[in-house]
Amino acid sequence: MEISVEVNGVTHSSDVEPRTLLVHYVREAVGLTGTNIGCDTSSCGACTLHVNGEAVKSCTMLAVQADGQSVTTIEGLAPSDDEMHPMQTAFMECHALQCGYCTPGMVMASVSLLDENPSPTEAEVREGLEGNLCRCTGYHNIVKAVLSASGGGK
Amino acid sequence: MIPVAFDYVRATSADEAIAALAEHGDEAKLMAGGHSLLPMMKLRLAYPSVVVDIGRLDDLSYVNDAGDYLAIGALTKHRMIETSDLVKEHAPLLAHATGQVGDPQVRHRGTIGGSLVHADTAADHPSALLALGGSVMVKGPNGEREIAGTDLFAGFLESSLEPTEMVTEVRIPKHTGAGWSFQKFNRRAQDWAIVGASIQQVEGGARVALVNMHPTPTRSAAVEEAISGGGGAAAAEQAHVGMEPSSDLNASVEFRQHLARVLVGRGLNEAGI
C-alpha cells in the first residue's frame, strides 16, 4: 500500500505491506535508526516517538495508520545540527543515561509529558514515565533531568 | 514480531466499516487504536485476513452531556476521557480508571470502545462500565441497538456483539457527587490488574465490579446484597463468592480471593460505604 508520512518535517512516500510496524518503517524505509526496538510488546517504551505531537509506542502501531500523519523521532527533536533540544541538554547535564538504549524513548516520552504538564511534581514525572523502562535502573537521574527541563526540581 | 499478512481497508464512516464486516464475515476485524488487537496479531493469537481501520472516524470521538448520562463516542481515546471535565464531574470513577490503563503512550492511542469489546477480564474499563451501570450502543446491518454492560461480556475475551456489529457510543449514567473507588493491585505501574475492583455508591447501596476474578468482567452479587442488607464494609468478606478466578504466574486462586476481599474492603471504605 502506498503511504505518505511526514517524518521530522520531510514527507516520505513508500509502498509498504499493511502489516509493517511503524517502528520498522521508520528504521528501515526512512532509514532513521535512533528509535530503538526493546521489548516489541508495548511494555518498555524504547520505541517511543511522536505522532501528531503525542508520544506513542511505534511497535504497536502500523505504518499504514501513520499515513498522512506527522511523525517526530529523536533525530527530529533538536532545532539544528549544533543545538540540542532542552530535554536532551537536561539529560546530558543530569547524567540521565547509562547504557543509553532506553534514552531516545525516554527523551521522547519526557517531551510529551512536559507538553501535557509543563510543571510536574517529582511524583507526576515518575508516574508520567511509567511506560518507559530503564534496565540500568537509572531512573533517579532521568527524573531529575525532566524536572530540570521543566524549570523545577532545582 | 510481525503479524500474519492481511488486507487493509480504511473506513471513512461507521456504515462503511459495517459493510466491510458484512462482506468479509469472520475473516475481518475492526481496528480502532489497535492497542488490544495489534499485540494479539503480533503474537499470532489473532490473524484476521482483513483489518478494517476505523481509527479515523473522528465523528465518533467525543464526550457529550446527554442529560442524565454522558455520551462517549466509541473512538474516544483514553487520554481524552481521563482529562475530560465532564467525566471527572459526573463519573469520576471512569476518569480515574481510564487514567490507570497502561501508560501515557497507550492512552494516547487506545479507545474506550476498543477496550470494552476486547472484553478482557483483566482490563480496567469493563469494571468501571459495570459499576456505573453503563451501556453501549452498537450498529449493524439491521440498525442500532443498546447492550447493557451486564449483557456485554459473553465469555473469555468475547463480547456479545454480532460479527457484523460495531460499538458507536458508550453511555454512562451520571453519578455526580456519589462515593466511588477504583482499586488495582499490580506489581509494575503499567501492568494489568492482578485483581482490581470498581465501586460506585448508588441509592440504597453500591455496585461492585471485579477485575480479573472471573473469566469475564463481573459484578459481585454477594457483596452488593450484603451492602444492601446493611453489611457495610464487612460486605467485603463476600468478595470471592461466586467468582472463578484463574491461577497463573502472578497469583494463585487463593491469593486472588484474598486480594478481592482486601481490595473491596479498602474500596468500600474509600467510597464511604
Which pLDDT value is given to residue B189? 79
Contacts of A24 in chain B (CB under 8 A): 2
Tens place of pLDDT per residue across chain A (154 aa): 999 999 999 999 999 999 999 999 999 999 999 999 999 999 999 999 999 999 999 999 999 999 999 999 999 999 999 999 999 999 999 999 999 999 999 999 999 999 999 999 999 999 999 999 999 999 999 999 999 999 875 4
A105 and A70 in a single domain? The answer is no
Mean pLDDT over B31-47 rounds to 96
Cβ <8 Å between A21 and B2: yes
Q: Which of A78, A73, A72, A76 is nearest to A91 (CA)?
A: A78
Q: Residue B257: is its pLDDT beyond 60?
A: yes
A124 and A59 in a single domain? The answer is no
Number of folded domains in chain B? 3
- The pLDDT tens digits for B133-189 are 999 999 999 999 999 999 999 999 999 999 999 999 999 999 999 999 999 999 887
Instruction: State the smallest CA–CA distance between residue B108 and chain A in angstroms.
Output: 7
B169 and B196 in a single domain? The answer is no
Contacts of A131 in chain B (CB under 8 A): 102-106, 190
**Chains A, B: CB contacts under 8 A, how many?**
78
Contacts of B5 in chain A (CB under 8 A): 17-19
Q: How far apart are CA B157 and CA B174, in angstroms?
A: 28
Is A54 in the B-facing interface, judged by CB distances under 8 Å? yes
ipTM of the complex in this document: 0.96
Q: How far apart are CA A91 and CA A144, in angstroms?
A: 9
For the domain that residue B48 is a member of, what is the CATH number? 3.30.43.10
Is B5 in the A-facing interface, judged by CB distances under 8 Å? yes
Q: Which domain holds residue B34?
A: 7-53
Q: Does B81 map to a domain?
A: yes
B133 and B224 in a single domain? The answer is no
Q: Does A23 map to a domain?
A: yes
**CB-based burial label for B40 (10 Å; 0-12, 13-18, 19+):** middle
**Distances in whole angstroms, Cα of residue B173 to Cα of each of A143, B67, B136, B150:** 39, 9, 12, 14
Buried/exposed code over A17-29 (b: 16+ C-beta within 10 A; e: otherwise): bbbbbbbbbbbeb
Q: What are phi and psi of B94, to 5 degrees?
A: -70, -40
What is the sign, positive or negative, of the torsion defined by CA atoms of B43, B48, B50, B56?
Answer: negative
- The pLDDT tens digits for A83-122 are 999 999 999 999 999 999 999 999 999 999 999 999 999 9
Which pLDDT value is given to residue A154? 47
Q: How far apart are CA B15 and CA B32, in angstroms?
A: 15
**Distances in whole angstroms, Cα of residue B158 to Cα of each of B152, B154, B222:** 9, 5, 24
Number of folded domains in chain A? 2
B46 and B107 in a single domain? The answer is no
CA-based nearest residue in chain A for residue B189:
A130
B185 and B101 in a single domain? The answer is no
For the domain that residue B207 is a member of, what is the CATH number? 3.30.390.50
A64 and A11 in a single domain? The answer is yes
The secondary structure of residue B237, as a DSSP letter, is G
B213 and B184 in a single domain? The answer is yes
Q: Does A48 map to a domain?
A: yes
A12 and A69 in a single domain? The answer is yes
A 10 A CB-CB count for A122 gives: 13
Q: Does A154 map to a domain?
A: no
Q: Which domain holds residue A127?
A: 86-149
Q: Does A81 map to a domain?
A: no
**CB-based burial label for A141 (10 Å; 0-12, 13-18, 19+):** middle
Buried/exposed code over B107-130 (b: 16+ C-beta within 10 A; e: otherwise): bbbbbbbbbbbbbbbbbbbbbbbb
Cβ <8 Å between A42 and B108: no
% of chain B beyond a pLDDT of 90: 95
For the domain that residue A106 is a member of, what is the CATH number? 1.10.150.120
Q: Does B2 map to a domain?
A: no
Asked if residue B224 lies in contact with residue B244, where contact means CB atoms within 8 angstroms, the answer is no
Cβ <8 Å between A131 and B190: yes
Asked if residue B116 lies in contact with residue B159, where contact means CB atoms within 8 angstroms, the answer is yes
A44 and A93 in a single domain? The answer is no
Asked if residue A119 lies in contact with residue A152, where contact means CB atoms within 8 angstroms, the answer is yes
